[in-house]
Structures are given as structure tokens and as C-alpha cells.
Amino acid sequence: MGNSQRFDTVLKNGRVVDPTNQIDGQFDVGIRLGKIATVVETIPPESADDIIDVSNQIVMPGHIDTHAHLSSPFQGSVDRAFGHAMLVESGTTTALDLAGDPTMMSEGMIKRGAGLNVASLMGLVPHQTVSEDDPRPSVLRDAISEVKKRGGFGVKMLGGYHPFTPEASADVVKEANEQLAWVAFHVGTKDSGSDMIGLREVPEITGKGRLHVAHINSYTRGMIDQPHEEVQEALGMIERMRSHWITEAYLAQINGTNGKCDENGDVIYNVMQNCLKARGYPTNEDGVRASLRDGYGSALVERGGRVIRVTGQEAVDIWESVATDASLSYPVNPPTSAFSLTTAKYDDGTFRVNAISTDGGSLPRNVAIERTMALVAFGALSMDEAVTKLSYTPSRMMGLLNKGHFFEGADADVTIVNPGTGKASMSLVAGELIMLNGRAIGRGGTWLVLEEGRQAAAAIGLPYEVIDLENSRLYENWN
């Protein structure tokens, strides 16, 4: 393409890394009408309405986070809508809100949006978002159909918090697959926990269907075997289920959980129980209280429009003030497990785990880009591989064919990274700046919906885009 046309914006003199187009070098990126118009060595300054100097910066297709939290269908002590700005400030441009509620997400986008593209799943919570403890196929069928009409991509099973029987879990997969809806699984059933034993159940639960196995590194914490042994077992399982599963891993050491206890003072949720067991604390109110006072655990609290972690007596006070139904966090993820899973490949050089996520958003662990850049600095990933896992493969996972690359006509979603710090310094969505110098400056956002959700998205008044999951890696070659 020649340089005679005009551009709305030109990103000038950056190191452009776009593995899909085999680009890695100093180039200018021309943007017009929210799309990539050209990537060439030099665009004359007089051809641009606006020039952004990105010298000595890495310019890559926008990071797509396939596991974030921007809304919630059940009680907790944190407003998930704060996650829009928190994700944007980490360099993310598109997110999959995993286990939220599409109506709550869209309301949060209107109230606290920061320019993200967001698709949302509904978490399956008995007697809240689904009417039965172990919902029958007909109940699931109606729930999945309804959430699609409300603008959701599909559903997520919350096995670490609200587990179903293995049989009901298998029904969720089957019913979602039949409706070509997204289906994700935080592993665990009434027969197992959110650990390697739970993961061993998932191939049979999946059957011949398709499933997004959420945060694969969460099941390799060394609860059953040594972490490295669990990693190898998980990788073997991923290989056997290669045509049935999509997966992601996150690189933060801290997790997110909920400290709710029952009337007897016992911790309710399996994930929280595992956090306490990992350090020998009793799985009751005394254990939670001690873990927070000792600084092992932390409570999440809203301050200055963001969510932060606090420890000690202040954390205990927060947890007690909401009758123990508080969002907490523990450093339970072995870094070596996450790094091993993130870098593992098949013999053909493709990655076993599809993407690098945050499992963050409203949780203060949106470190996908900076931790990935650390792996590049360490030599565990090449820069091309880093961009592939942060941008391109997650775009294929979700069927976002115009994202994850800089082909002419692609969406001008761009993340710009400071190579010195490894952190994102700037990002754009559809050619508009949404983050500058680490601060969110965007507003609102774009709601990603299925065809069934078009009417709901139009009614609420947000910009929206209709996505076809037949183009997604989840339903690749599905028939």
C-alpha cells in the first residue's frame, strides 16, 4: 500500500512485533477509521492527523485476556466493575469476563468502563443463576439460552465454590455444546476438589465435547503430588484432550478466593480450604483470622477507584465486617508451575496451553504482560512467542478474527510496552487511546455478544460487536 492516503493516527518509530505477519523491526503503524491501514518503514508526518512517538517501545497487537473478572453473580466484598480500569492499566485491550453476569458486566461498563472490549460468561450458582443444586439438562438448556439472549457468550462451572456432581457437570458441557455456547470450568465436583484429583475427572466430563479448562496452573499447586509431577500430568492430559480443550494459565503467585464460613465457623469453599491447608492452618474462622493476621493472606478493599490488598488486623476487620463473605487472596501458585505450563510446546512447536491470562481484572494481579516479558528476558520465550501467546492465540480461542494481528483492515487494538520495565505504557482500542503512562483514560467499552444477544446489547445503548463462535478455537471443526 502506498503512503499517499491520510491516517487518523500514526504510531511512529516503534519496534513492531507481529508474528502472524512475520514483522519484528522498526516500523510506523498507520491507523484509519479504527483499523490498521498499513505497517511500513516510514509514513510521512504530513500524512497523519496525529502522530504518537513510540520510539524505543514495543508495539504489539492488543493483549487479549481470556480469563478476567469484571462482574460477579454472587456476593462478595469487591465491586468487580473496578476491574475495567485495572485491566486497561495493565495493557489489556479485550477480556473474557469469566463467571460474571452479562447484565452486571454491561452495567459496570457504563458506570466504570475504560474502553475495553468485553465478552461475559455467567457463573452457574445454584438457586441464584440456576434453579437446582445439580441442574437437569432441561434447566441447563433454558439457562444457557437465556444468558445468550442477555448478551452472554455462555456459562462457567464454579467447581471450586459451587460444585455439581460429575454427571451434572457433564450435562453442562453437553448442553452448552449443543447450543454452540461458551462453556468454561473451574475444576471440581462433589466427588473431588479444585486440584489434580478434580482435573483427572475432566476428560470423562468433557467426553467428545468442547470445554475451556480455566487457569490450568491452579490445579498444579502440589496439593496431591509434587508441583512438577502435577505439571507433567496436566500437560499429558492436555495433549490427550488436544481437540477437545482450550486452556490458559496466569502468571501471578497470588490467587483470589472467598473467606465465607458457615454457621459452625467452618470455611465453605474448597478453594479457600486449600489455601489454608497449604500452610497448615485449620479450615475454620480461627484459621482464616490467623492467616490474615500473619500476613499470609490478604483482604481486598476498594481505594481510589481501584482494588488493593491489605493484611494484618485491617484485613481481619474487613473480613469480619461483611460476616466473612469477603474477597481474599493467598500466594498459593508456584511460579515454576505457571512458567512450565506457559512455555510447554508440542513437537510441532505450538503451545500446549493456548494463552496467558490474568484471572485478574478486579483482582490486583493483572501481570500477564510484565511477567511474560520477564520470561522473554530470561530466555524462556522469544518475543515472537510472547506476542503469540498474549495476542494471537487468544484471538483465535475466542474467534476474534480481526484482532491479534496487524493485517490491513484488522482492528487497531494495540498494546505498547516499555522494554525496560516490561510493563505496558500505552494502549489503543479501535485506534483510540484508552491508556497512557499506566493510567486508564478510556470510557465505556464495546460489548462482545453472540447473535442472540444483539437485541439486548442494542437496547442498553453500548457499542457492541456480534461474534460467531464457529470461528473460535473452542468449536474448531465442530459438527
Report the pLDDT averaged over residues 224-250.
97
* CA pseudo-torsion sign 120, 123, 128, 132: positive
Report the pLDDT averaged over residues 172-187.
98
Residues 6+ apart with CB under 8 A from 142: none
- What are the cell numbers at 442? 478510556
- What are the cell numbers at 61? 497487537
Query: Is the confidence at residue 2, as pLDDT, over 70?
Result: no
Question: In the block, which residue shows the cell 512450565?
Answer: 340
- What are the cell numbers at 248? 490458559
Q: How far is Cα 312 from Cα 294, in angstroms, rounded to an integer?
A: 6
Query: Is the confidence at residue 307, as pLDDT, over 70?
Result: yes
Each residue's pLDDT tens digit, 70-122: 998 665 667 899 999 999 999 999 999 999 999 999 999 999 999 999 999 99
pLDDT of residue 75: 54
Question: In the block, which residue shows the cell 500452610?
Answer: 279
pLDDT of residue 479: 76
Confidence of residue 3 (pLDDT cuts 50, 70, 90): very low
- DSSP letter at 2? -
Among residues 296, 406, 313, which one has the least CA distance to residue 59? 406
Q: How far is Cα 153 from Cα 182, in angstroms, rounded to an integer?
A: 6
> Which is it for strands 306-310 and 355-357: parallel, antiparallel or unpaired?
unpaired
Mean pLDDT of the chain: 96
C-alpha dihedral over 280, 223, 394, 416, to 10 degrees?
A: 40
What are the sequence ranges of the domains in the chain? 9-60+406-441, 61-253+333-405+442-479, 258-329
Query: Is the confidence at residue 10, as pLDDT, over 80?
Result: yes
Q: Provide the residue count of the chain.
A: 479
Among residues 181, 230, 474, 206, which one has the least CA distance to residue 355? 474
Report the pLDDT averaged over residues 382-410.
98
pLDDT of residue 74: 62
- What are the cell numbers at 328? 481474599
Q: How far is Cα 68 from Cα 308, in angstroms, rounded to an integer?
A: 16
CATH homologous superfamily for the domain 61-253+333-405+442-479: Metal-dependent hydrolases (3.20.20.140)
Confidence of residue 198 (pLDDT cuts 50, 70, 90): very high
Asked if residues 95 and 65 have their Cβ atoms less than 8 Å apart, the reply is yes
170 φ, ψ (degrees, to nearest 5): -65, -35
Range list of β-strands (E), 304-423: 306-310, 327-329, 355-357, 360-361, 414-417
pLDDT of residue 4: 65
pLDDT of residue 77: 63
User: How crowded is residue 129: how many other Cβ atoms within 10 Å of its Cβ?
Assistant: 19
pLDDT of residue 240: 98
Residues 6+ apart with CB under 8 A from 454: 464, 466
Q: How far is Cα 2 from Cα 379, in angstroms, rounded to an integer?
A: 37
**Burial (CB count within 10 angstroms: exposed 0-12, middle 13-18, buried 19+), residue 341:** buried
pLDDT of residue 1: 39
Q: How far is Cα 118 from Cα 81, in angstroms, rounded to an integer?
A: 12
Asked if residues 140 and 172 have their Cβ atoms less than 8 Å apart, the reply is yes
Query: Is the confidence at residue 140, as pLDDT, over 50?
Result: yes
Among residues 245, 262, 134, 132, which one has the least CA distance to residue 190? 134
Percent of the chain with pLDDT over 70: 98
Each residue's pLDDT tens digit, 11-31: 999 999 999 999 999 999 999
- Does the domain at 9-60+406-441 match CATH 3.40.50.720? Answer given as no
Query: Is the confidence at residue 294, as pLDDT, over 50?
Result: yes
**Burial (CB count within 10 angstroms: exposed 0-12, middle 13-18, buried 19+), residue 74:** middle
Q: How far is Cα 9 from Cα 14, in angstroms, rounded to an integer?
A: 14
Q: Any bridge partners for residue 10, and if so which?
A: 30, 51
Range list of β-strands (E), 259-310: 298-303, 306-310
Each residue's pLDDT tens digit, 444-461: 999 999 999 999 999 999
Asked if residues 126 and 93 have their Cβ atoms less than 8 Å apart, the reply is no
Q: How far is Cα 9 from Cα 223, in angstroms, rounded to an integer?
A: 51
Report the pLDDT averaged over residues 301-323.
95
Query: Is the confidence at residue 405, as pLDDT, over 80?
Result: yes
Q: How far is Cα 267 from Cα 287, in angstroms, rounded to an integer?
A: 9
